[in-house]
């Protein structure tokens, strides 16, 4: 259970609360000052609440609280009390933020394309801040987590199907253009969430197979200050023992690394995979130097 982990100090809780508030207000700003005035909707529970607001003029903040509440209660048994409390707080602050910005009545732009792009960017930043601080503004993924175990679909497939339904309804109720702009906003926001969660210093995981593995490894250590690990394997065709090199490097070091490998062994085989998160003192220090 999540409660089994180390308890947070008051300082950590206050810090999380401040960031959850900041993220919620950024999302509220994107919704009321960019998206809603231009009839662009978000996905998930937020999208449903926006549709209700468009059709009935019912208060958006209250709609967010009411629709999210069943999902928040459902999360008690699945994701732990701390997550539920942080999610409820984030949703409550979003409800407050939407009311504040609605009464403020400021519209940044009436250009739909600009509203789509910058609204999506700001929305993604806000949601990313909330997710990074272990909260949520949307109960869709909680629902998807439960349904995936019952019906065998992945969480991503259920969320995508749910959002597809919302955008189809938006195309009927609002307009086809609104639905298309909404999908574009969702895509932009999704990419910005990745940037906030993963950062701009994306790293690469590299595996190198070469008969000169030790020479390549030592050169990477000496010239690029990259820590390497040697793995032992057997060739599938040759049945000969092979030494593999495993290391993690920043994307800025990749070009130099390729040169080093090709100079030592032009026939070396190496694969490169994106790494979203890297933990460890040595790698952290290297990223800080870049």
Residue 203's DSSP bridge partners are 250, 275
Per-residue pLDDT reduced to its tens digit, 211-237: 899 999 999 998 888 889 999 888 777
- Tell which residue, 110, 111, 91, 7, has the closest CA to residue 45: 91
Q: What is the mean pLDDT of residues 64-77?
A: 85
Residue 276: the pLDDT is: 66
Residue 228 tokens read as 């390497």
Q: Domains along the chain?
A: 9-198 (no CATH), 203-289 (3.30.70.120)
Using CA atoms, how far residue 193 sits from 76, 145, 272, in Å, is 25, 20, 24
Residue 290: pLDDT above 80? no
276 vs 105, more confident: 105
**pLDDT tier for residue 118 given thresholds of 50, 70 and 90:** very high
Residue 281: the pLDDT is: 53
**pLDDT tier for residue 82 given thresholds of 50, 70 and 90:** confident
Question: How many other β-carbons are positioned within 10 Å of the β-carbon of residue 212?
Answer: 15
290, with CB counted inside 10 A (0-12, 13-18, 19+), is exposed
**pLDDT tier for residue 146 given thresholds of 50, 70 and 90:** confident
Strand, helix or coil for residue 174: coil
79 vs 238, more confident: 238
**pLDDT tier for residue 282 given thresholds of 50, 70 and 90:** low
DSSP letter at 8 equals: P
- Tell which residue, 184, 178, 189, has the closest CA to residue 38: 178
């Amino acid at each position: 259970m999540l409660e089994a982990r180390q308890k947070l100090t008051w300082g950590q809780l206050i810090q999380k609360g401040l960031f959850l508030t900041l993220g919620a207000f950024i999302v509220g700003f994107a919704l009321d000052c960019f998206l809603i005035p231009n009839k662009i909707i978000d996905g998930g529970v937020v999208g449903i609440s926006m549709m209700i607001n468009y059709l009935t003029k019912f208060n958006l903040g209250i709609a967010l609280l009411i629709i999210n509440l069943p999902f928040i209660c459902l999360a008690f048994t699945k994701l732990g009390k701390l997550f539920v409390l942080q999610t409820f707080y984030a949703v409550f602050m979003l409800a407050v933020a939407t009311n504040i910005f609605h009464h403020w009545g400021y519209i940044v732009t009436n250009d739909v394309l600009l509203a789509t792009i910058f609204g999506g960017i700001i929305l993604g930043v806000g949601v990313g801040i909330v997710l990074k601080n272990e909260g949520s503004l949307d109960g869709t993924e909680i629902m998807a987590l439960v349904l995936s175990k019952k019906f065998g679909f992945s969480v991503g497939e259920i969320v995508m199907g749910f959002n597809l339904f919302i955008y189809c309804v938006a195309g009927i109720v609002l307009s086809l253009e609104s639905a298309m702009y909404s999908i574009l906003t969702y895509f932009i926001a999704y990419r910005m969430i990745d940037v906030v969660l993963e950062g701009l210093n994306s790293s690469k995981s590299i595996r190198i197979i070469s008969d000169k593995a030790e020479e390549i490894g030592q050169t990477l250590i000496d010239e690029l200050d990259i820590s390497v690990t040697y793995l032992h394997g057997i060739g599938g065709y040759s049945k000969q023992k092979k030494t593999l090199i495993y290391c993690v490097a920043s994307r800025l070091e990749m070009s130099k690394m390729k040169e080093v490998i090709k100079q030592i062994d032009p026939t070396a085989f190496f694969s490169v995979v994106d790494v979203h998160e890297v933990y460890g003192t040595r790698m952290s220090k290297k990223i800080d130097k870049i």
